[in-house]
Amino acid sequence: MNNLKSKQIKDLPEDQRPYEKCELYGADILADAELLAVIIRTGYEGKTSVELAGDILKLCGSDGLTGICNLDIKELMTIKGIGRVKAIQLKCIGELTKRISKSVRGKKPVFNEPGYVAEYFMEECRHKEREELKVIMLNSKSAYLGDVNVSVGTVNSSNASAREIFLEAFKFKAVFIILLHNHPSGDATPSRQDIETTRIIKEAGDIIGIRLIDHIIIGDNEYVSFSEKGIIF
């Protein structure tokens, strides 16, 4: 009979326990694996929760903690010691961090710099496995009013409808809009289709009176802004 038991954080030496370290020195002193260990709480058969957290980070690869956002529940459950409940907890933590990151920037940021727009949406968009086209709504002072996903495509394409885009813009009473979409390949270089679609939507916006002021493509920690590159704009 196997006498090995699932190790818990309390089984660690006191100076190695994430709970105690956090309480004494603050959460910012904890390593990534220790932060995850607080969430998952237990290890398995001789492996501590901190060691199990290390296995999670290995699966995340070079993305580190943000890689959790890019793993689905089934992938997380391939790690020994991670069952359905822990996998769901980890996915919820990943989503929570994305939402916190977005909310701390303020409810109405001003999007007058392409780099700031790209930074604001980078973590939300760069991990997606399919292309998604987002329309960002702005008022007359370029303050953020909201955003809507108007298209979800395959791994290398998305379909955009000018009619749908401007119907959404009218709902927000937007004066300006920005198009933003991701390239799952990680390469943010615009395709011919990206350029042609942007041209059509810009011309429609000029007629309607809702100006398209940029199209930003998100890659893997990189972006391309049509306005910065002088493409169409």
- pLDDT of amino acid 9: 59
Q: 97 and 135 share a domain?
A: no
CATH number of the domain encompassing residue 225: 3.40.140.10
Is the CB of residue 191 less than 8 Å from the CB of residue 219? Answer: no
Q: What's residue 17's pLDDT?
A: 82
Helix axes 84-103, 32-40, angle to 10 degrees: 120
- What's the domain range around 62? 9-103
Contact yes or no for 181/197 (Cβ under 8 A): no
- Residues of the chain scoring pLDDT < 50: 1-4
Check whether residue 89 and residue 126 sit in a common domain: no
What pLDDT is stored for residue 11 in this prediction?
60
The Cα–Cα gap between 126 and 67 comes to 11
How far is it, in rounded angstroms, from Cα 136 to Cα 132?
Answer: 13
* 55, burial (CB in 10 Å: exposed 0-12, middle 13-18, buried 19+): middle
C-alpha 95/C-alpha 29 separation (Å) is 23
- Give the pLDDT confidence score for residue 1 in this predicted structure: 41
Question: Do 118 and 44 share a structural domain?
Answer: no
Final residue before a domain boundary, out of 80, 103, 126 = 103
Q: Are strands 176-182 and 211-218 parallel, antiparallel or unpaired?
A: parallel
**Composition of the chain by helix, strand, coil, percent to 5:** 50, 15, 35
Please tell me whether residues 93 and 192 are part of one structural domain: no
pLDDT recorded at residue 105 = 57
Judge if 94 and 118 occupy the same domain: no
